[in-house]
Structure formats: C-alpha cells, structure tokens
Amino acid sequence: MKIALGVTGCIAAYKAVEVMRGLQKRGAAVQVVMTSSATQFVGPLTFQAISGYPVISSMFAPTDDPEIKHIQIAQSVDLLLVAPATANLLAKFAHGIADDFLSTLYISATAPVLVAPAMNVEMWGHPATQENVRRLKERGVHFVDPGEGYLACRTVGAGRLAEPEEIVSKAIEIVEGRKTAGAEPGGPAATARDSFVAQVAQYNRDLAGEHVLITAGPTYEAIDPVRGVTNRSSGKMGYAIAEAAAARGARVTLVSGPVSLEPPRGVSTIRVRSAYEMYSEVMAHLPSSTMVVMAAAVADYRPVRVAGQKIKKSGEKFTLEMERTEDILSAASGARGSQVLVGFAAETENVIENAVKKLREKGCDLIVANDVSAADSGFDVETNRVTLVTGDGAQEIPLVRKREAADIILKAALDVRSKQTSLTGA
C-alpha cells in the first residue's frame, strides 16, 4: 500500500508526523509532499528521516530521475491524503489550480483523495471555504472534517485537525474498500477491471466530431407548488458520461434533471425539471446529435392535475391520479436517423432479461443494464456494476467507478457504430 501524504502550511503540520507514523504502522509506504509554507512549520528532514523517502517540496528540484515526478507518483499511489489541508489548498483543489507540486499531483491523480482540513474557525465557516468543500465532496473527494476545540488562534470552535488516528483509520478504510471493490493493482478482482480501464485509456479524442446528447438525473413531477414525485437519481452516472465524452473530444449536450452537481467543464448543460421538459429538450437536440445516451431516471407517471395551491390536509386517505409521461427513449428511437442510441435499464430483479426486453421494445442499439439492488451500484453511489446488452449478447462489466463505466459505455457505443458502418458499407 502506497500513500502520498500532502502537508500544507498550518500550525497542525507537526501532527502530520503522527499521521505518517500511524500509516506506516498499518503497513503503508508514505511519500511526503510538502508545500513551501508547510516547510516553515516542520522541516522536511523530520518527514524524510521517518518515512525513508526524500520529501518533495518543489516542482522543479533538480534530479537525476528522468521520470515526470508528479505523474509517476500520481499513477503509483493508492491514496492521496492531505493532512492538514489549509483553506488555500481546498480552494486550489476545488478550482484545479496547479501551481505547486501538491496541487499538480491532485489534478493528475487517479487514486482516491482524502483531505483533513485544519484552520481558524472563521476561515472554516467562510462561505468560500464551504463552497469549495461542497464542490470537492461532489467530485468524490473524501473528508475527515475538523473537530471543535481550542484553536491556535486562541479561539474555540470548529477548525481543529481531526485526531491522527481518525485520519489514519479513514485512509486505510478507503484503500481497503477500494481493494475489496477490485481496484487493487494486480489483485484478482483488479485483473478484469484493469483490463477494461486499460482498454479505454487508448481512446483519447476518439469522439472528436461527434455530438453526444445525454440525459441525467431524476425528473420531478409536481403535485402542487411545494410537493412532487421524484426518485433517488443523483445524476452522477449521466454527468460522468458527459465528462468522459467531452474529455474524448465530443461536443456534448447534457439534459439534466434537478441535481446538485456542477455542470461538467466544456459541456452544454440544459437544466430541466419534469419528464415533459426533458422530452422537449431531447427532441430539440436530437437532429444535430450523432450519439444519444439516456442515463436519466425519468418518472413513468405524473399527477394528472397539478394543484395551483398547496393541497390542504383533509380525510384519512389521499388518492393521487397519475398518467403516463412521455417515453423519451422510445420517442427518440422513433425519430432518429443514424444516431447510435443507448438506453439504460435500472433493474432490481431479472436484470438481463428485462434489459433485453427494453432493448427490443424501446428500439435502442445498446442497453446498459444496471443492477440497482446492490449498495455499491446504481443510485447515488460513486461506483456502478453494469452489463452491456446489444443484439449480439451481453457483456458483464466488473464493479468500477462511474467515470470508468462512462468510458466503457462510450467505447461500446462506438463499437456499435463501427459494426453498423461495416455492415452497411457506409
């Protein structure tokens, strides 16, 4: 187990020594990366002597090693842990500012990231810091939030670095959880996963020239001005597909139901609420698209009438009359030209059987069958377990992060396109 430990400039920097020792006791090799401010609080030699590795504190230190250091570390660690993390560091991570080794390591790391902030109570409570924390959490960054207590600035409140044992336990839990999920390099479950991830890694900019239309998130069907019918979709799966498609060079239009995610960079995001609004936007953008991926969890029914005022309580029972919503996927299938059409099927039983039925009934090229009965797959989690169902059969994908699943799904959609092209000779 290899962990990169980032240390930033804060009075709690000395506690990072304890964190490092705790990690070592749990069997981790620790590569320390210090910001230049951190070196004002604790000398790099302290960390170097205990970790047994040279401490990195500069982006441009001369070295005989021809490797690009931050990439080498980013690719080899099981976790990037920053303890303590200052308000400045959180702002840099949240905004992708890469102006020193640690912040550059963050944006090149594929490993999970754990952050343990420490700062003055006002700095921690400031809306800017809280907004950065929210952004990072949405992006999947793990946190050990600061505790309350007497702070170095002689005030009492939240901002104190969490206890080193708590930080160590959380770090180990993340690395071991990831291994159980099959992400351990070289582990048995990792073999299948790594081969899928490696397979797609070579498809850089293979979607250049495509216009990918994606739906994501839930829909919200109003009952009255303050109540509605919705579901647990967080939008993470659809947003990951949008992000992956944009990274691979596509023009991307994302039609999103109500979610709390930030629009992915470089993606034209259209916010909608109801199934009808989603239907209208999809049909408007369908003609210019070349590939359509419908990951949204669209309500199948909506209230027949939406009350103009808040419905008052009356009687013991309340009956809501519902009607079918537009089936957006079927409508797109009926109106499409040469677009590759990918639908999802969220299932809790007979997953493949139901997906095959949807493939046929909804007229898609590919159905991503999503087993949503497991805790680590489907709605509102970071990972997903899907099976790709086409007219040729079903391909099961091991548990992967949604961003990796996104790349795999896009590759499968391109494979469908290649196959269609070779059959028609176009």
Q: Which residues participate in catalysis according to the annotation?
A: 153
Residue from 15, 170, 358, 411 touching ligand PMT (CB under 6 A): that is 358
* Pairing assessment for the beta strands 366-371 and 251-256 based on DSSP bridges: unpaired
In contact, 379 and 372? CB cutoff 8 Å:
yes
- What is the C-alpha to C-alpha distance for residues 419 and 298, in angstroms, rounded to an integer? 30
Q: At 58, which amino acid appears?
A: S
- What is the C-alpha to C-alpha distance for residues 127 and 137, in angstroms, rounded to an integer? 15
Contact call for residue 372 and ligand PMT (CB under 6 A): yes
Nearer to ligand PMT, 175 or 244 (CB): 244
Contact call for residue 300 and ligand PMT (CB under 6 A): yes
- Which residues inside 180-219 make contact with ligand PMT, applying CB under 6 A? 215, 217
Structure tokens at 161: 């670095």
Residue from 4, 213, 328, 366 touching ligand PMT (CB under 6 A): that is 328
User: Does residue 185 have a cis peptide bond before it, meaning omega lies within 30 degrees of 0?
Assistant: no
Binding window for ligand PMT (CB under 6 A); candidates: 32-40, 153-161, 180-188, 320-328: 320-328
In contact, 340 and 292? CB cutoff 8 Å:
yes
CA atoms within 13 A on the CB side of 334: 8
Contact call for residue 38 and ligand PMT (CB under 6 A): no
Smallest distance, Å, CB 288 to ligand PMT?
19
Q: Is the dihedral of CA 71, 73, 74, 80 positive or negative?
A: negative
Contact call for residue 234 and ligand PMT (CB under 6 A): yes
Smallest distance, Å, CB 382 to ligand PMT?
9
Contact call for residue 346 and ligand PMT (CB under 6 A): yes
In contact, 64 and 75? CB cutoff 8 Å:
no
Contact call for residue 383 and ligand PMT (CB under 6 A): no
Residue from 345, 409, 412, 413 touching ligand PMT (CB under 6 A): that is 345
Nearer to ligand PMT, 327 or 415 (CB): 327
Q: Which of 343, 393, 388, 346 is nearest to 363 (CA)?
A: 343
| 397-to-112, 272, 371, 383 alpha-carbon distances in Å | 21, 31, 11, 12
- β-strand partners of 147: 160
Binding window for ligand PMT (CB under 6 A); candidates: 40-48, 120-128, 289-297, 388-396: 289-297
Backbone φ and ψ for 141, nearest 5 degrees, come out as -70, 135
Contact call for residue 248 and ligand PMT (CB under 6 A): no
Contact call for residue 298 and ligand PMT (CB under 6 A): yes
Smallest distance, Å, CB 294 to ligand PMT?
4
Binding window for ligand PMT (CB under 6 A); candidates: 52-60, 133-141, 232-240, 284-292: 232-240
Smallest distance, Å, CB 313 to ligand PMT?
30
Backbone φ and ψ for 250, nearest 5 degrees, come out as -80, 155
Binding window for ligand PMT (CB under 6 A); candidates: 36-44, 69-77, 122-130, 370-378: 370-378
Smallest distance, Å, CB 386 to ligand PMT?
7
Q: Which of 417, 290, 305, 297 is nearest to 366 (CA)?
A: 417
| 120-to-81, 85, 182 alpha-carbon distances in Å | 21, 12, 39
Nearer to ligand PMT, 81 or 296 (CB): 296
Nearer to ligand PMT, 89 or 329 (CB): 329
Residue from 15, 160, 178, 236 touching ligand PMT (CB under 6 A): that is 236
SS (H, E, C) 330-344: HHHHHHCCCCEEEEE
Nearer to ligand PMT, 237 or 416 (CB): 237
Binding window for ligand PMT (CB under 6 A); candidates: 32-40, 116-124, 201-209, 377-385: 377-385
Cβ neighbours for 171, distance < 8 A, ≥ 6 positions apart: 3, 23, 28, 79, 81, 114
- β-strand partners of 323: 302
Q: Which residues bind ligand PMT (CB under 6 A)?
A: 215, 217, 233-237, 275, 294-298, 300, 325, 327-329, 343-346, 358, 370, 372, 378-380
